[in-house]
Amino acid sequence: MNISYKTTTEIGSEDLSRVFKASGIRRPSDDLPRLQRMIDNADIIISAWDDGKLIGVARAITDYSYCCYLSDLAVDREYHNKGIGKELLRLLLEQLGEEVTLLLLASPVAMEYYPHIGFEKVDNGFKITSKR
């Protein structure tokens, strides 16, 4: 296993679909045009690779000044518990600097994971869920 992390590598919708499915994250994995828009409109994408295979991704939207929303943190289940998610997060925080607050909405199954990698739980938030 030779894991490398990249911030400039373009990823395709098929790669993103595969890593979403392999990670168990709930995303529109079969809607490749929508995934491509998610890639195209992200401000930051950091990817983890093992010998040319995409195994993890952090995708974020930010103003680089005050806040950043971590849209996706997904790691192929075969690579869980190897520090890949933690490293993707570290690289993201490095790019953002000290002035930016990082926010995310966690899946119920991931609620225990995020405090482990440095997130603080918050109770003040609201959302309007998408229709599809």
pLDDT tens-place string over residues 1-34: 789 999 977 899 999 999 999 998 889 999 999 9
Continuous segment of H or E residues that includes residue 16: helix 13-23
> Beta partners for 56?
48, 75
Distance from CA of residue 79 to its chain's centroid?
Answer: 15
Residue 94 in tokens = 């490095």
Q: Is the alpha carbon torsion for 74, 75, 81, 85 positive or negative?
A: negative
Domains detected in the chain: 3-116 (3.40.630.30)
Q: Which range has the worst mean pLDDT, 23-27, 29-33, 88-92, 110-114? A: 110-114
- Give the pLDDT confidence of 21-67 residue by residue, as tens digits: 999 888 999 999 999 999 999 999 999 999 989 999 999 999 999 99
The pTM score is 0.89
What separation in angstroms does the CA of 93 have from each of 17, 67, 79, 119, 128? 24, 11, 21, 12, 27
Dihedrals phi, psi of 72, to nearest 5 degrees: -140, 135
